[in-house]
């Protein structure tokens, strides 16, 4: 089977409300959840920043000091861990995200690789949220790539749709990016790629051959066959409270650690071992800081 699996835990996300779900917000909470995920087998922690004032934990933040505090707390709890920093911003004002990457120098950072109409319809046929464009035009992507290069961070190219997967090769061809390639196929957003295992062979044909890849599967219990197929085809694995609250049996979790246990079981079932943090750095070609 294809090598060791790098396991990423997406600790909290941007849409999850701590009043409704057990998502971590403070550095202490982030460190505790990261430790549970780390002990279950995750070597990469994908972090989002939230406002720290009481009652504001559902709101995003781009405060560089909050980023530093959260990263430090996670690193102390999880020796050798790899930090993967969020960068996603709707609209033209994304200087805060660039500052966080440049000043805190995470090992990895999400690089949203194309634009998507971000839509979802509820059961009563009304919009789940106001329809909007998650805008990632090439000039914006270029600025993110420059910030990641300056920080020595590996871009994780987030691909929400098939055309975005194809675009990554163009970024390489035109010289926008020249380093190691890592794709993240984001599947399960209602207006993007579905969480369908049968789509994976097509995506693998479209990615550049030398690139590592993983799947972000968004949904409930129905996402787990996709994770299993990803493990069987040699992809790296990601889950966490950003992506789902549900185990394969449909039961709801209270911690990231429970989700990481389930995804590690997918890797084991596919005959693969789990990469340690140092092995993850080598597999993903992360530069030493």
Distance of CA 272 to the CA centre of its chain: 21
Q: Residue 1 falls within a domain, yes or no?
A: no
pLDDT digits (tens, 9 = 90+) for 59-68: 999 999 999 9
Domain that holds residue 68: 7-284
pLDDT digits (tens, 9 = 90+) for 161-204: 999 999 999 999 999 999 999 999 999 999 999 999 999 999 99
Q: pLDDT band for position 288 (50/70/90)?
A: confident
- Average pLDDT for 84-101: 96
pLDDT at 289: 66
**What's the whole-model pTM score?**
0.97
Q: Residue 27 falls within a domain, yes or no?
A: yes
Q: Which CATH number covers residue 278?
A: 3.20.20.70
Establish how many alpha carbons lie within 13 A of residue 251's alpha carbon, considering only the half-sphere containing its beta carbon: 7
Q: Please check the confidence at residue 3 and state whether its pLDDT lies above 80.
A: yes
Q: Residue 205 falls within a domain, yes or no?
A: yes
| Strands, E assignment, the chain | 7-10, 44-47, 82-85, 108-112, 116-118, 132-134, 154-159, 182-187, 212-217, 236-239
Q: Residue 251 falls within a domain, yes or no?
A: yes
Q: Residue 289 falls within a domain, yes or no?
A: no
Q: How many domains does the structure of the chain reveal? A: 1
pLDDT digits (tens, 9 = 90+) for 31-43: 999 999 999 999 9
Q: Residue 112 falls within a domain, yes or no?
A: yes
Q: Residue 87 falls within a domain, yes or no?
A: yes
Q: Do 41 and 80 touch, CB atoms closer than 8 A?
A: no
- Average pLDDT for 236-241: 98
Q: Residue 2 falls within a domain, yes or no?
A: no
Q: pLDDT band for position 1 (50/70/90)?
A: very low
């Amino acid at each position: 089977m294809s090598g060791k699996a790098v396991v990423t835990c997406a600790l909290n996300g941007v849409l999850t409300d701590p009043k409704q779900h057990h998502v971590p917000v403070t550095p202490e909470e982030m460190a505790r959840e990261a430790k549970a995920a780390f002990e279950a087998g995750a070597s990469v922690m994908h972090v989002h920043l939230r406002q720290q004032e009481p009652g504001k934990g559902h709101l995003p933040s781009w405060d560089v000091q909050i980023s530093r505090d959260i990263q430090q707390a996670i690193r102390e709890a999880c020796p050798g861990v790899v930090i993967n920093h969020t960068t996603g911003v709707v609209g033209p004002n994304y200087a805060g995200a660039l500052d966080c990457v440049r000043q805190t120098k995470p090992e990895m950072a999400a690089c949203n690789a194309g634009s998507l109409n971000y839509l979802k319809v509820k059961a009563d046929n009304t919009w789940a949220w106001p329809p909007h464009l998650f805008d990632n035009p090439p000039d914006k992507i270029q600025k993110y790539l420059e910030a990641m290069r300056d920080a020595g961070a590996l871009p994780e190219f987030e691909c929400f749709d098939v055309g975005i997967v194809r675009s990554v090769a163009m970024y390489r061809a035109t010289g926008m990016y020249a380093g190691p390639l890592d794709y993240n196929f984001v599947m399960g957003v209602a207006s993007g790629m579905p969480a369908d295992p049968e789509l994976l062979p097509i995506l693998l044909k479209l990615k550049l051959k030398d690139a590592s890849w993983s799947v972000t599967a968004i949904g409930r219990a129905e996402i787990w066959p996709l994770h299993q197929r990803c493990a069987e085809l040699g992809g790296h694995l990601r889950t966490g409270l950003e992506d789902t609250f549900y185990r394969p049996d449909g039961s709801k979790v209270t911690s990231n650690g429970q989700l990481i246990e389930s995804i590690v079981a997918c890797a084991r079932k596919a005959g693969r071992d789990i990469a340690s943090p140092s092995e993850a750095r080598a597999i993903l070609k992360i530069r030493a800081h």
